[in-house]
């Protein structure tokens, strides 16, 4: 038998667009992961807000393996039972009347932006194509979505960007009021910005966007790729605000770790994606949708959603203790089990060191830029796993910043 691949093989065989940690996880159960040497890690990263039920959840393993024994793939030349079941549930539980399935958040946003442009084109002609997006936002890595995202470092160096995209400061409604016009076809916004540090929209901002987009016949798109599927204690974050979008994108948590995404919308918008206008070979595949149905069985219950809030407050209290002991953090922002832990200016740029120190202590965390430690653990993490992870985090933080 060949020897197991090692982390050192990465540079030899992989495109160098990632710089993974120096261990290779091979197995997970709940909020614990083991590497090749058998060392265990507590997972506060959740695969970047994806594994919302932890690793190898028995209900998800059952749904996947049962479906695997029936039918894996059909293409969209046919429909399939798990996709129809999932769409039915999403329609029942949200503002949406129609669903389009894709495989990733970027693809769901690509579909949302194309839908907004196509609807505007059909209804008002070719001059209505402008898109308003926000500084610091992240919408995916396809060329359209990365151009719409508000982080030029990800979109520069690839030639001319698609035309008609304007970036404005987040939470600045006046700026939007000045920019928006009858040429605008869409405003796309994360209700809480994830990649730039868990920064929530103000209620006035989202309500104002709703009003302005309605006035100018533009689509209001909520990117809930990171904030959706229970992460903030509601099935979708827009429910906290009481502001309803025209299009909502969901990915990450929806498949609990199986690649799946959905674009939710109303019948009035959906009709502009008539047969052949958009598509995906794998979008809405039976395996992903079967898993997502099992995810919703567990997440979309009052007990689980209330549990998110309870767990979040418990974790936040301990994080604030660690912050006080270390003196290294200025603010803890959180919405449900989704934390952005801001380093003080004196420790600017050192979030990566926290990630590395946490790994040394047997803990997985995330970054949101160089100054923010981000965490997005399983929504059903046990108290014991949480406490163990927090103890490891405390050791990691104090090893760096004393206290
Ligand atoms: N939108 C948001 C808000 C995200 O956080 C992400 C990923 O981090 C994406 C879109 C892109 O999703 P994916 O990486 O699945 O394409």
Is 24 domain-assigned? Answer: yes
Going residue by residue through the chain (403 aa), what tens digit of pLDDT does each one get?
Answer: 579 999 999 999 999 999 999 999 999 999 999 999 999 999 999 999 999 999 999 999 999 999 999 999 999 999 999 999 999 999 999 999 999 999 999 999 999 999 999 999 999 999 999 999 999 999 999 999 999 999 999 999 999 999 999 999 999 999 999 999 999 999 999 999 999 999 999 999 999 999 999 999 999 999 999 999 999 999 999 999 999 999 999 999 999 999 999 999 999 999 999 999 999 999 999 999 999 999 999 999 999 999 999 999 999 999 999 999 999 999 999 999 999 999 999 999 999 999 999 999 999 999 999 999 999 999 999 999 999 999 999 999 999 998 6
Residue given tokens 């966007």 in the structure block: 209
* CATH (domain of 217): 3.40.640.10
Domain range spanning residue 260?
A: 71-299
- Measured at the CA of 318, the angle between CA 22 and CA 253, to 5 degrees, comes to 60
Q: Tell which residue, 231, 286, 220, has the closest CA to residue 256.
A: 231
The radius of gyration computed from the CA coordinates of the chain, to the nearest angstrom, equals: 21
- Taking the CA of residue 109 as reference, the ligand 1 atom at the shortest distance is 10
* All residues at 6 or more sequence positions from 220 whose CB lies less than 8 Å from its CB, including other chains: 186, 187, 189, 209, 210, 213, 214, 245, 246, 247
Instruction: Say whether 138 is catalytic.
Output: yes
**Domain endpoint, select from 249, 266, 299:** 299
165 lines ligand 1 (CB under 6 A): no
The one catalytic residue in 35, 43, 223, 371 is 223
Residue given tokens 């299009």 in the structure block: 247
Ligand 1 mutation target, pool 226, 237, 257, most atoms within 8 A of CB: 226
Q: State whether 254 and 222 are in the same domain.
A: yes
Q: State whether 36 and 166 are in the same domain.
A: no
- Taking the CA of residue 106 as reference, the ligand 1 atom at the shortest distance is 16
47 lines ligand 1 (CB under 6 A): no
Q: State whether 212 and 170 are in the same domain.
A: yes
130 lines ligand 1 (CB under 6 A): no
Residue 106 alpha carbon to ligand 1 centre in Å: 6
Instruction: Say whether 172 is catalytic.
Output: no
Residue 111 alpha carbon to ligand 1 centre in Å: 13
> DSSP characters for 177-235?
HHH--TTEEEEEE-SEETTTT-EEPPHHHHHHHHHHHHHTT-EEEEE-TTTTTTTTSSS
222 lines ligand 1 (CB under 6 A): no
Please give the model's pTM, rounded to 2 decimal places. 0.98
**Domain endpoint, select from 257, 272, 299:** 299
- Taking the CA of residue 227 as reference, the ligand 1 atom at the shortest distance is 3
105 lines ligand 1 (CB under 6 A): yes
Q: Tell which residue, 142, 235, 118, has the closest CA to residue 131.
A: 118
Burial of 192 (0-12, 13-18, 19+ CB in 10 A): buried
Ligand 1 mutation target, pool 252, 260, 280, 338, most atoms within 8 A of CB: 252
378 lines ligand 1 (CB under 6 A): no
Number of domains in the chain: 2
Is 65 domain-assigned? Answer: no
* CATH (domain of 39): 3.90.1150.10
Q: State whether 246 and 184 are in the same domain.
A: yes
Rounded to whole angstroms, how far apart are CA atoms 175 and 11? 45
Q: State whether 101 and 180 are in the same domain.
A: yes
């Amino acid at each position: 038998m060949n020897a197991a691949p090692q982390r050192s093989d990465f540079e030899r065989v992989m495109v160098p667009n990632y710089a993974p940690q120096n261990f290779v996880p091979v197995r997970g159960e709940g909020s614990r992961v083991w590497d090749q040497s058998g060392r265990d890690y507590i997972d506060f990263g959740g695969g970047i807000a994806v594994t919302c039920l932890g690793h190898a959840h028995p209900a998800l393993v059952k749904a996947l393996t049962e479906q695997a024994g029936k039918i894996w793939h059909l293409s969209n030349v046919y429909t399939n039972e798990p996709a129809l079941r999932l769409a039915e549930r999403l329609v029942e539980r949200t503002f949406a009347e129609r669903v389009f399935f894709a495989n990733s958040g970027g693809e769901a946003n690509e579909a949302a932006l194309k839908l907004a442009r196509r609807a505007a084109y059909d209804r008002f002609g070719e001059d209505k194509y402008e898109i308003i997006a926000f500084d610091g936002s992240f919408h995916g890595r396809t060329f359209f979505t990365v151009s719409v995202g508000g982080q030029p470092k990800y979109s520069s160096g690839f030639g001319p960007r698609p035309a008609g995209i304007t970036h404005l400061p987040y939470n600045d409604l006046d700026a939007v009021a000045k920019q928006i016009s009858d040429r605008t076809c869409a405003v796309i916004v994360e209700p809480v910005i994830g990649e730039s540090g868990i920064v929530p929209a103000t209620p006035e901002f989202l309500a104002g966007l709703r009003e302005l987009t309605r006035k100018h016949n533009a689509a209001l798109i909520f990117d809930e790729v990171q904030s959706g599927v229970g992460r903030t204690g509601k099935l979708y974050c827009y429910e906290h605000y009481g502001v309803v979008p025209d299009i909502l994108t969901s990915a990450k948590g929806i498949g609990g770790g199986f690649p799946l995404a959905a674009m939710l919308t109303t019948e009035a918008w959906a009709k502009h994606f008539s047969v052949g206008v958009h598509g995906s070979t794998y979008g809405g595949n039976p395996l992903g949708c079967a898993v997502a149905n099992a995810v919703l069985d567990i997440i979309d219950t009052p007990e689980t959603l209330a549990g998110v809030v309870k767990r979040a407050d418990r974790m936040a209290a301990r994080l604030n203790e660690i912050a006080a002991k270390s003196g290294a953090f200025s603010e803890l922002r959180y919405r449900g089990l989704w934390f952005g832990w801001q380093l003080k200016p004196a420790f600017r740029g050192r979030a990566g060191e926290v990630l590395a120190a946490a790994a040394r202590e047997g803990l997985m965390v995330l970054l949101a830029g160089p100054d923010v430690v981000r965490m997005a653990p399983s929504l059903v993490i046990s108290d014991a796993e949480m406490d163990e992870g927090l103890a490891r985090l405390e050791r990691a933080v104090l090893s760096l910043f004393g206290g």
